[in-house]
Amino acid sequence: MCHVRAALSVLTRNPDFRRLFLAQLAVFGADWFIFIPLLVRLNELTGSGLWGALVLAADTGINALLLPFTGTVADRLDRKKIMVVANVTGIATIGLLFAVRSPGTAWLGPAAVAAFAVAKAFYTPAASAALPNLVPTEDLATANAFAGSAYGTMAVVGSSLGGVLAAAFSPYVAYLVTTGALVGAAVLGWRIRTPMQADRGGVAAARTWSAIGEGLRYIGRRPRVLALVTVKSAAGMGNGVLALFPLLAVSFGVGPLGTGLLFAVRGLGALTGPLVMRRVVQHRGWLMPGLAVSMAAWGLAYLGVALVYWFPAVLALVVLAHLAGGGNWAMSSYALQTEVPDELRGRVFATDIMLATLAVSVSQLIIGGLVDAVDLRVLVGACGAVTLLYSIGWRIATARLPVPQVGPVPAGQLSTTE
């Protein structure tokens, strides 16, 4: 109980971080109020799983393409303004979803999600890079655990309530709630008073392509940072399994309710993972092995999903997989925040998220292309096996690397030592 109170005090003692956290809850909640009703609606309208895979791939693929540029923007412009403008832009894109009412308009679903992904591509690196500026160093690990749990929290709440609203009323009610969530996120972001980036000391910003190149060179010359920006890709390479959730639910005879449950327990795992793994980042020697173990656990859990024939066991394994995945995300994000100086943090985080989302997009497109031709369980098992093999290779490649340092690198101090 004392540990819980100490963790919660990070929110009460840091009002601007609390606003950022609540804004992230609203943004992630908006995501899930869209996805569950839209995936179910597209399946009803078209009778194919391909459209759902295209929605998921559009969301992650657009992020992957834009993040090198948007990360540079997060290092050059006011991060608070970027976040607020991204929220307002997201509100405008939701209107397209109200037009998805027939097989002929199904294409508007992926189009709207792609437009919303553009807004999120600007929002995400700005929010991630800003976090260390809103809390003292001693609170950073706990703040990252909270920030990492935001996605899982709203995956549980959003997927559950989004499905309920869509079933009880219509998908369009869920889209209306999404609009309200984004309005709330914009207001919360605007109320943040603490500067969200360090003072650049009058140093002129590099041109866009030069700035992108500077960020990539920084990563390439530092094996520790390179290891950390490639670790999230493990679960990403297997995340095509999400496109199989509606079909997996149908195979167990639980239909739309089962689809909502699968996404909800996925969120439950992502919510608890960062909190469970919080202690790992406080022990320097545990970090790299912990990242490898979390990747392997994700893969093994989905191999288990492919083998079991009892739906509650499937739900338990999905929780386990995404508990490991959520912990992996939070641990690697914290390590990057302590390793990378503020003036490069936006670009490094953009590269980090770009690689992860690109892996997700490729995985989902491959699964979308195979879903009507290959046995469902074979595809689920393949997703788990890919992540497991990646985790083994990553651990072998990084076994001799020194542990990342503790404490944020001061602005203007670009370490050249490894």
pLDDT exceeds 90 at position 305: yes
Assess if residue 27 is contained within a domain. Answer: yes
Decide if 257 is inside a domain. yes
* Mean pLDDT to the nearest integer, 154-183: 76
pLDDT > 90 fraction of the chain, expressed in percent and rounded: 12
Residue 4: inside a domain: no
Spacing of C-alpha 281 from chain mean position = 19
The model's pLDDT over 310-321, given as tens digits with 9 standing for 90+, comes to 999 999 999 999
8 Å CB contact between 385 and 241: no
Please check whether residue 201 lies inside any domain of the structure. no
In a domain, 408, yes or no: no
pLDDT for position 271: 74
Residue 86 resides in a domain? yes
pLDDT, tens only, 53-96? 778 777 877 877 787 778 778 877 888 899 999 999 888 888 88
What residues make up the domain containing 298?
A: 13-194+208-398
Judged by average pLDDT, the poorest of 28-32, 227-231, 278-282, 312-316 is: 278-282
**Is 135 in a helix, a strand, or coil?**
coil
For the chain, how many structural domains are there in total? 1
Q: Is residue 69 part of a domain?
A: yes
The DSSP secondary-structure symbol of 407 reads S
∠ CA 323-21-185, rounded to 5°: 120
Model confidence at 372: pLDDT above 80:
no
What residue type is assigned to position 81 of the chain? K
| Confidence grade of residue 206 (pLDDT, cut at 50, 70, 90) | very low
Please give the average per-residue pLDDT across 271-283, as a whole number. Answer: 69
CATH of the domain at 94: 1.20.1250.20
CA distance 274 to 326: 6
pLDDT band at 200 (very low <50, low <70, confident <90, very high): low
Distance of CA 353 to the CA centre of its chain: 8
Mean pLDDT of 204-221: 64
On whether residue 413 sits in a domain, the answer given is no
Q: Write out the two tokens for 289.
A: 């092995």
CA distance 51 to 45: 10
| Average confidence (pLDDT) over 342-359 | 76
